[in-house]
Chains A and B, each alone.
Chain A
Amino acid sequence: LAKTTQPISMDSYEGQEVNITCSHNNIATNDYITWYQQFPSQGPRFIIQGYKTKVTNEVASLFIPADRKSSTLSLPRVSLSDTAVYYCLVGPLEEYGNKLVFGAGTILRVKS
């Protein structure tokens, strides 16, 4: 299983762009990279998923370099409500879920 490493915490201010990087040096060929957001006392919420290069949706962008050994979640113009824990998960889709291991995640604190 690909182990992931993320910063423990990050601080930002409202309106700024936040980039959270995740290292996954032993990512396998059939592994996808998925990011989840979790608020206190709630289940994680899917943010974005990708395999290579760049993926963008209405809430975030995911940048994956050619070697795929890391990925960066980019949150444009964060607000106070983006304060949460962000998890980077790496695993194969065909065994999705039972092969996913949640790391410690990154606590993002957005200040006014």
Chain B
Amino acid sequence: GAVVSQHPSWVICKSGTSVKIECRSLDFQATTMFWYRQFPKQSLMLMATSNEGSKATYEQGVEKDKFLINHASLTLSTLTVTSAHPEDSSFYICSARAFVGGNEKLFFGSGTQLSVL
């Protein structure tokens, strides 16, 4: 299958600082990547769709100025949580589409646990 690498695995930051999370497709090119947020004991919630070379598409209710997404290459998308606050503490997961086994499938990164103090 395809491999999606996400870094860091966990990060602790002070309130008001910014945090960048990287998502890389290691063995395939991804024109589209997706960013999710997951709170404890809840399901994944799609935040935005990251498109290589163009602006990201944000889901309703997600602040684009707070969650900056950059997809500058076919293998890398970054999510920057700006001016983080405790309520932004969550598990962030990226994914990318890859054509494997005859069909397109979603492959996910290992996730980033963000804790804002």
Contact = CB atoms under 8 A, between A and B. Distances in A.
A81 interface: no
Given A46-B106, A49-B103, A87 B43 contact: yes
A71 interface: no
Interface string B28-46: 0000101010000001111
A41 B97 contact: no
A13 interface: no
Nearest to A44: B108
Contacts of A45: 108
A102 B106 contact: no
B1 interface: yes
Interface residues of A, number: 22
B44 A102 contact: yes
Q: How large is the interface on B (under 10, 10 to 19, 20 to 34, 35 or more residues)?
A: 20 to 34
The A interface, classified by DSSP as helix, strand, loop or mixed, is: loop
Contact of A96 (B36, B44, B97, B113): B97
B110 A43 contact: yes
A84 interface: no
Contacts of B107: 46
Contact of A104 (B4, B43, B93, B110): B43
A28 interface: no
5 contacts: A43-B4, A43-B93, A44-B106, A45-B108, A102-B43
Interface of B: 1, 4, 6, 32, 34, 36, 43-46, 49, 57, 91, 93-97, 103-111, 113
